[in-house]
Amino acid sequence: MIEHLELRAYGKINLGLDVVKKREDGYHEVRMIMQTVGLYDKIIMERRRRPGIRVETNLPYVPSGEGNLAWRAAKLLTDEFGLDGGVYISVWKKIPVAGGMAGGSTDAAAVLVGMNRLFRLGLTKRALMERGVSLGADVPYCILRGTALSEGIGERLSPLPPAPDCSVLLAKPQISVSTKAVYGSLKVDELLPSQHPDIDGMAEAIREENLDGVIERLGNVLETVTIPAHPEIGRIKEHMLKNGADGALMSGSGPTVFGLFKEQRAARDAFYALREAEEGRLVRQVYLTRLFRPGGSERREGRSR
């Protein structure tokens, strides 16, 4: 019987994020191209005889009880299956917290997978995804991983072929952004047609393994809210583009910015240039990684202040 597991909880970026409408229940209908990246949190799980769920993290401001999605994921399956014994969960955070990269959701996804293995529950990936949506709209995708079209409130997923490989520079400025506040401030009916990214075109470019086509279609309607409120996000985007990025975009509701680079050397140069430039003083975390490809290896360089 497995008693100990070490898992990687990978972060995501949005290559394209469109908001179609606001529903009567207050949720927003979205169409997004979701992409896993090589930056990950490390999750250690240990099965214990004594009942209870214990979560520890390397960051003092991350909650360890019910406020932590990893704790809630373990609780979900513990209650459903009436599990005997307990579990210890260590979460070593690297993914920027509240950075638009689904850091909490991917930790919860990893814990669902880990609980399934530790307690031999026999749940399929689809069954785990169905349970994960009760924790958050991004959790099913974080179980799926890879490249996918996300629709509805984010829970309807259509897998796509792996996106064309490239280097990814990630930078989170020293600000916090409320996803709820960003969506609440978005005026969907006032968006211009040109502000809506071409999600279908990007999906087709991915199927054709056309990296230029993907880069040309990068777009995120939430930038219309977040960047005016936090101009440093726009300045970091501009810095990446001036230093060799073939494309740059804010991920999710922000504030993390990513740059895509066809050439790894250019990405490395931009990584160090960002650290030295004025914009670097605005950045709390900066990482160099690649798009996640199933079965591939993920290399990363990074700095966290």
12 is catalytic: yes
Q: Hey, what are 89's tokens?
A: 């969960």
CA atoms of 241 and 237, how far apart (whole Å): 6
> Alpha helix (H) ranges present in 161-229?
179-185, 199-207, 211-216, 223-229
Catalytic residue among 18, 41, 138, 246: 138
Give φ, ψ of 66 to 5 degrees. -60, -25
Q: Hey, what are 245's tokens?
A: 């990025």
Contact 269, 241 (CB under 8 A): no
Q: Is 46 helix (H, G, I), strand (E, B) or coil?
A: strand
Q: Which helix (H) or strand (E) holds 148?
A: strand 147-152
Catalytic residue among 12, 93, 172, 237: 12
What type of residue sits at position 153? I
Contact 5, 44 (CB under 8 A): yes
How many other CB atoms sit within 10 Å of the CB of residue 172? 29
Contact 89, 45 (CB under 8 A): yes
How many other CB atoms sit within 10 Å of the CB of residue 204? 15
Beta pairing partners, 249: 258
Tokens 């950045």 label which residue?
283
Q: Hey, what are 119's tokens?
A: 């307690």
Tokens 């075109």 label which residue?
201
What is the phi-psi region of residue 26: left when phi exceeds 0, alpha when psi lies from -120 to 50, beta otherwise? left
Catalytic residue annotation: 12, 138
